[in-house]
Amino acid sequence: MRIIGNDPSVPRQTQEIASGTLPNGKPVVVNSDGTVSVVSETTVTQSVGAAVARDDGAEATLGYYCSAAFDSSNNKVIFVYRDNGATGRAIVGTISGTSISFGTPVEFQSNNIAETSVTFDSSNNKVFIAYQHAANGDYGTGVVGTVSGTSISFGTPVSFNNGYTSKISATFDSSSNKVVVAYRDDSQSDYGKAIVGTISGTSVSFGSEVTFNAGNTVLINAVYDVNANRTVIVYRDMANSSYGTAVVGTVSGTSISFGSEVVFESADTRAISSAYDSDNQKILVAFKLASNNTGHAIVGTVSGTSISFGSKSQFTTNNVDVTRTVYDSAAQKCVILYRNQTTSPYSGRIFIAIISGTSV
């Protein structure tokens, strides 16, 4: 590589060795041998199995405020939800081929709950659920679950925020062996906050709350970057023109500290979700633009206590509602799921995301 020019007022140019033909105007990536080539498109086969409902008579089937996590110790998936009676329940799923079967739902909170978020602590082989306990002042609450066969049992719930708590998202920090919960503290001007939880047996204890955004914070999604040993929180910053924003957190003991906030989309950003791609060591963020409801994705790279982003890529022109982004470790690809509201009835759609460098 040769850099041309040293005048700071003039954009710097580079000369590279091309690998193949480089059409004018096409994006390129730097290869491992130092050459550059056009970003390639990859065709991936997508298929889904049949939907399976788990019905408990009077209860809603995986009703409202659902979340899910994978228990890598037992090779089970855990679904957490609120039933029609507003009871908090969890259910263990077993995957076989393209099918899934379920055990019996287990109650983790007997009275009114709202939002839920579940993650798996691989150091203790425990499931951790964070949720809004609506019957107890909407306090932010956490509980530890233990999977055995096709069932799950729970310890005693513990509050982590004694105030109205919403927009909850939990993740597991495998470097410090802690859970991190990000949320909006509605009792303090809707600030975005985070707290560190330590699991011991069937109990969880929490450190002190830390503010990561001193303003109205919604659509909070926390994910852990294994390579950087950092937690990344993405969110819609209502205090800054509803821009899509990210911040990097570092756990130390029972506390967490944050770097500077970074805007990844300078427009009203909604339906935000994220996942960590361990093959590419990148964060993938999916979202929709409020201006036209189209779906987009962008790649983030964590360095120290900051994160930088490539250019966004549109994955659909359809009217997008909710998005979910997950990483498939077998396929080594991120998967974006969204609800298509372009035509009625609304449908669930899937895209496989191919990351190359800082592009998707």
CATH code 2.120.10.10 for 230-360: yes
Alpha-carbon distances of 344 from 112, 167, 295, 339, 347, rounded to whole Å:
32, 28, 18, 11, 8
User: Residue 58: what pLDDT?
Assistant: 36
* Span 272-296, pLDDT tens digits: 999 999 999 999 999 999 999 999 9
pLDDT score at 28: 56
Mean pLDDT lowest among 56-60, 114-118, 272-276, 302-306: 56-60
The pLDDT, as a whole number, for residue 177 is 98
pLDDT digits (tens, 9 = 90+) for 40-49: 555 556 677 8
Confidence band (pLDDT; 50, 70, 90) for 109? very high
Q: What are phi and psi of 251, to 5 degrees?
A: -85, 135
In this prediction, residue 20 has a pLDDT band, given cuts at 50, 70 and 90, of: low
Q: What average pLDDT score do residues 81-93 get?
A: 91
Alpha-carbon radius of gyration of the chain: 21
What is the pTM (predicted TM-score) of this model?
0.86
Q: Residue 60 has what pLDDT?
A: 44
**Whole-Å CA distances, 313 to 29, 91, 235, 294:** 15, 36, 18, 11
As a whole number, the mean pLDDT across the chain is 89
At 134, is the secondary structure helix, strand, or coil?
Answer: helix
- Residues 183 and 139 sit within 8 Å (Cβ to Cβ): no
Structure confidence at residue 9 as a pLDDT band (50, 70, 90): very low
Q: Residue range 331-359: average pLDDT?
A: 93
Which CATH code, of 1.20.58.220, 3.40.718.10, 3.40.50.300, 2.130.10.10, is assigned to 41-215? Answer: 2.130.10.10
Q: Indicate the pairing of strand 88-96 with strand 13-15.
A: unpaired
- Ranges of each domain in the chain: 1-39, 41-215, 230-360
pLDDT, position 51 = 79
